[in-house]
Chain A
Amino acid sequence: MKEPLVELKNVSFKYDTEAGFALRNVSFTIFMGEWLAIVGHNGSGKSTLAKLLNGLHFPLEGNITVGGIQLAEATVWETRKKIGMVFQNPDNQFVGTTVQDDVAFGLENHGIERNDMVQRVSQSLEKVKMAQFLDQEPHHLSGGQKQRVAIAGVIALRPDIIILDESTSMLDPRGREEVLETVRELKQDYNMTVISITHDLEEAAKADRILVMNKGQLYREGTPEEIFQMDDELVKLGLDIPFPVKLSKMLREKGLPLSRHYLSEEELVEELWTSHSKM
């Protein structure tokens, strides 16, 4: 049922300029079609992880396989076809002078034939709802729109996996929702695997699975339910607890008999209503 797509085995990595290891002995598996959130404080190794997955750096020790192929200098072009990446800053990833040029850029680099390219550009822009902006210049777009164009550029290459490296952290709430909604639809339509590196716990709460990174190590993995039971432990790691969980906990301390810590406000309201009716 769950098919492994990416496997990391005992991966360690260190930047030349730094004394300590950015990643230490990290092992985990990413399964096909899942939405995996990777959370952790600034400097916990999340972004280094993303860079290793995309072959921007290579592990110092251990190894990574993507779709059965071991990631190395020799295979990086092959594995990169499988993984698309959307970075944090919308202004740093626009290379084309217009929206459609930007989406075409990656396709040109992969030597896609022109007719196919034209079709894929318009299809991808359609998909992220940016088709009407075809000839616009990037500086006319909002942050959320720029990120959606970046996503179009990624999906035009038909990757199996899309990595969001804090892709929504520089956007306003509306832009953030636009981008996440786009990714959710894509995931559903193409059965894509989503790896989201994020500080946004509300977003992580909606993932299938969460990895918690701390000081370069994998600290814990589990479903959102499991992870957010960690409670104060998360706060100690520099993270936070989603609002409904925090509220459930405080209500329990006030003596309300809640059966568990809820991840969704709706469920919490419902249990409150039920226990209210029984009083």
Chain B
Amino acid sequence: MDISLQNVEYRYQVNTPFERLAIKDVSIDIPSGTFLAIIGHTGSGKSTVLQHLNALLKPTEGKVVIGDRVITADKKQKNLKEVRQKVGIVFQFPEHQLFEETVEKDICFGPMNFGVSEEEAQKRARAAIQQVGLPEEILNKSPFELSGGQMRRVAIAGVLAMEPEVIVLDEPTAGLDPRGRKEIMDMFFSLHQTRGLSTVLVTHSMEDASRYADQIVIMHNGEVYEKGTPKEIFSSPEGLLKLGLDVPEVVRFQQKIEKSFNTRFSKTCLTMEELTEEVALLVKRGAPK
């Protein structure tokens, strides 16, 4: 399912003394099957953008197209259920939203809310729990007996069980240990590939953005500051650095080497393999005689 934001503006609490412009003139295309990363500082408007992707927020200007639905300021929206089912959002610390007595009931809650039968929901719960890498026995446990990492996975399973076509992830690995982080991201990436999902990842991790994304959008002060492929974005990282954002470790190291050797690599390396290759070549070539 394609999603596109066209010149979207959003103001919080319009016509009150607390009115605040959160995003303006934001245009982003997310064709079906894209892996998009959105990066930017806290307060840059990332979360506001994210809430437009399944019409939790309605733009105050411009329009949002989600599949065949068009969301604009002046049109009353009816029956957004379908949109919400097709675009699943995994919020930050999603484990805080677990509430049911058992893991199974918690996972079934979403699909049943969308009219799926109990039997079908349970079938989906079994599939989803497997996808997030947990044993089926866990379905009968209380979510509150689980470890933090397991709770996170259960919450994610709850979103997967709705069988969305687009999955939106708001800092899905915050607070996890390095292995947990890698496992969760690899899981999303493999779902992305095997199910042909569109994935939107809001992250502070430049490593994840460069490793997984096809497209990157940098938000700053409520506007799209830059967009492009990871190669494009990180090949001229001046903009990122000016905003005080990080660049991936690999890119940062390449810059340091280039500076101290007073040379330029033939390309921007995005993986450690590329980087070691280039560095080894450079060092072995030796100093000019």
Contact = CB atoms under 8 A, between A and B. Distances in A.
Secondary structure at chain B's binding surface: helix, strand, loop or mixed?
Answer: helix
A256 interface: yes
Interface string B142-163: 0001011100000000000000
Contacts of A143: 42
A272 B276 CA distance: 12
Chain A: number of interface residues, binned into ranges: 35 or more
B133 interface: no
B260 A273 contact: yes
B177 to A, nearest CB: 5
Nearest to B287: A277
A265 B257 CA distance: 10
A177 B276 CA distance: 28
B284 interface: yes
Interface string A258-279: 0000000110011011011111
Contacts, number: 101
B276 A254 contact: yes
Interface residues of B, number: 38
Contacts of A273: 260-261
Given A43-B149, A173-B204, A243 B42 contact: no
Contacts of A43: 147-149
B41 to A, nearest CB: 6
A174 B280 contact: no
A255 interface: yes
A275 B253 contact: no
B175 A170 contact: yes
Interface in B68-98: none
B179 interface: yes
B147 A250 contact: no
Contact of B279 (A240, A253, A272, A279): A272
Interface string B260-289: 110000000000110111011011111100
Given A254-B277, A276-B283, A173 B246 contact: yes
B177 A251 contact: no
B178 interface: yes
A247 B275 CA distance: 9
Contacts of B246: 173
B244 interface: yes
Interface in A50-89: 88
B196 to A, nearest CB: 31
B249 interface: yes
A246 interface: yes
A156 B237 CA distance: 41
A276 B287 contact: yes
A105 B181 CA distance: 36
A276 B179 contact: no
Nearest to A235: B179
B174 interface: yes
Contacts of A226: none
A14 interface: no
A130 interface: no
Nearest to B252: A265
Contact of A256 (B180, B204, B283): B283
Interface string B236-249: 00000000111001
A247 B260 contact: no
Given A42-B177, A256-B280, A273-B260, 13 more contacts: A41-B180, A43-B148, A166-B175, A169-B174, A170-B175, A238-B180, A251-B276, A255-B284, A265-B256, A272-B279, A276-B286, A278-B286, A279-B285
Interface of A: 17, 40-43, 88, 142-143, 166, 169-170, 172-175, 199, 201, 235, 238-240, 243, 246-247, 250-251, 253-256, 265-266, 269-270, 272-273, 275-279
9 contacts: A42-B177, A43-B149, A169-B175, A174-B42, A235-B179, A240-B179, A243-B249, A256-B279, A276-B283
The 8 closest A-B pairs by CB, nearest first: A279-B286, A240-B178, A238-B179, A254-B280, A243-B249, A250-B276, A276-B283, A277-B287
